Each structure stands twice: as C-alpha cells, then as structure tokens.
A and B are shown apart, each in its own frame.
Chain A
Amino acid sequence: MPTAASSEAAPPRSSRINKRVLVAGAAIVLPLIAVLVANLGRDPHMVRSPLVGRPAPPFSLQPVGGGAPVRLESFRGKPLVINFWATWCVPCFEEHPALTAAARGLPDVQFLGVVYEDEEARTQAFLKERSSAYPSVMDPDGRTAIAYGVFGVPETFFIDAEGRIVEKFVGPLQRSTIAELVARARGGRP
C-alpha cells in the first residue's frame, strides 16, 4: 500500500495539465457535436430558402410550344407546385412520373414546370415522348430561376392559394413527399 501511495505522489502535476487539455478540447468539440445532433433529424432536401413564407416572385413566361404567356397571378386561388427542371437533368427524369401522377391525382392543385437552361425543341420532344399532365414554360436567361433563388435542378416550390411560398424542396420528389407538401400548401389557406 505505501509503495502505491509513493508512486501516485508524482503524477498530480501532469494529470492537472491533462484535465486542462481535456476541458479545452471539450470546449471545441462539444459545440460541434451539439450542431450535429440538432440537425440530425432534418431532411437535407428541405432547404431553408429565404423565400419560404414570402409571396412567390411574379413571372410571365412563354409556354413550351408557344401560346399566351403564363402568369403567376393566373394561378391565384389554388395551391401551385412549381417544378424547375431540364431534360439534361437525370433526377428530373426520375421524378417526372411522380409529378405527372400527382398532377393527375390532385385536380385541385396546379402543377407548372419551369424549364431551366434548356432548348425548347428538346423540351418539346421530351414532353411528347413521355406524357405530361401539366404545362411547362420556358425561362430564357434564367431570370425566373434567379428570382426564385434556384441553385440547380430539380427544385420544387409549393405555393398556397394566396401565392405565398410554403416550402422549397431540392432534389427528386417522390409521390409521398409531393402529397405531404401539397397538404402543407393547402393548409396555408385560412
């Protein structure tokens, strides 16, 4: 016993330094872990856009294949789903059936595709090849995409009947997600 006590008499100095290092390390690492834990449950596709909760930026765009310009105001009164897409974008290709099925299954909701940096002829061929249940409009120079703060495609905005953006979704959509977010856009109506 006494030998153990004498061997323990030396280290307190170094163990005190270790404790200090430990505290400093914890002060750096713990906030990082806290941030990680706080965001663990968040869906990375639900991007916090500064536009969420604000009125959707207005636009007036030419439909694919020609016709009268499509204006945002004309959709007032029912929920609107605006999907930014392009024919060169593989995830857009993947989500197209889900969007088409949702548009067919939800007649009280308006769906609109905004073509992002693509050619009209190619878009027309794409839409002819695969059936589409909703109109798509061309966005020359990407001005509408910039107004909506689009980073890339596909990005989808869910807008309530008052024209307010309720949610922004980044990446390919699935039917269940569309249903869930459309319900939220419907809930925006008082």
Chain B
Amino acid sequence: MAAEVRSPIPGIFYRRPSPDADVFVEEGDAVEADAVIGLVEVMKQFHEVRAEAAGTVGTFEVENEGTVDAGQVIVSLD
C-alpha cells in the first residue's frame, strides 16, 4: 500500500543535506521506516522529513529547493 510523505511545516524543501552533498534518497530506492527523505527550511531552521513506513521511493512531487505548504505531499512510498 502506498504511503505518502507529507511536509509537517511550510517552507523550502531540500533533497540534499548540503548543496554539494548527495541526495538523501533516489527515486526507486528502498527505504526503512524513519529514513530521512529530505529537509524543510522554515525561517532559517531546518527540519527533517522522515518516512513513516518502509517502502520504495516514488516520484518526487516537489522539486529540490521548491516551496511546500504544511501537509503537502512530497513523495509517495510504494
């Protein structure tokens, strides 16, 4: 069953821990529950976005450095 990873807060979504680093996860990766999917920056503070369940990373619905609203789906896990 597909699980959706949603941003808990509004802000800017990052797929990498820093601009020069590798992405946290690639589309198609298998991830465990609680794996870090990305970061959301809100007012200069960074918050981790984690997978609630294990699964395979689907297509990202928010681009790197794109804006997200609270509750917006970032990616689905199949």
Do the two shown chains form a genuine complex with each other? no
> Which residues of chain A have a CB within 8 Å of any CB of chain B?
none
> Which residues of chain B have a CB within 8 Å of any CB of chain A?
none
